[in-house]
Amino acid sequence: MGFVTAEPIELAPLIAAVQAPERGGVASFLGLVRNHHGGRAVLRLEYSAYAPMAEAECARIVAEAEGRWQVSVALRHRVGSLAVGDVAVAAAAASAHREAAFAACRYVIEEVKRRVPIWKREFHADGTEVWVDPTATLQHA
């Protein structure tokens, strides 16, 4: 299963993928489409990606996290048209203890936002469309 998907993202399969008897801590993150950005009403989002590059970069990020902490990581990012409330990105990290799981989960999400070539277009209530600079959202994450 790849990291980038056009299908709805469910958290339970990601958690199942990282769970093991020796891993007592599981941390997860869900990034949902919200109904506003920058003081403007958002109706929906559209994500697009250069899939081969996005897949490769996601794999590098997961490998980095698994090399830095004793964790198992699962990650998915959605592409296509998403409605308010839909899951855009999800990550789960499991470790023997919570500290590593929390740290790895946060690392993965921050690096995905910073490095993976996935682009977001917002559709506003006033009829306008805006491509969002992904690095600008890091200030508000």
Q: Note down pLDDT in tens along the chain; length 141 residues.
A: 699 999 999 999 999 999 999 999 999 999 999 999 999 999 999 999 999 999 999 999 999 999 999 999 999 999 999 999 999 999 999 999 999 999 999 999 999 999 999 999 999 999 999 998 766 655 444
Tally of domains within the chain: 1
On whether residue 139 sits in a domain, the answer given is no
For residue 134, what pLDDT is reported?
Answer: 66
Q: Check residue 141 and give its pLDDT.
A: 44
**pLDDT at res. 136:** 64
Burial of residue 139 (CB within 10 Å: 0-12, 13-18, 19+) is exposed
- Tell me the residue type at 137: T
In a domain? residue 55: yes
- The whole domain housing 59 covers 4-132
Flag whether 141 is in a domain: no
Please indicate, yes or no, if residue 137 is contained in any of the structural domains.
no
Query: What does the pLDDT read at residue 140?
Result: 47
C-alpha to C-alpha distances, 62 to 70, 73, 93, 108, 119, nearest whole angstrom:
12, 6, 10, 7, 20
Element (H, E) at 80: strand 80-83
Residue 44 sits at φ, ψ, to 5 deg, of -165, 170
> What does the alpha-carbon distance between residue 22 and residue 37 come to, in Å, rounded to a whole number?
41
Domain containing 43 — which CATH number? 3.90.1170.40
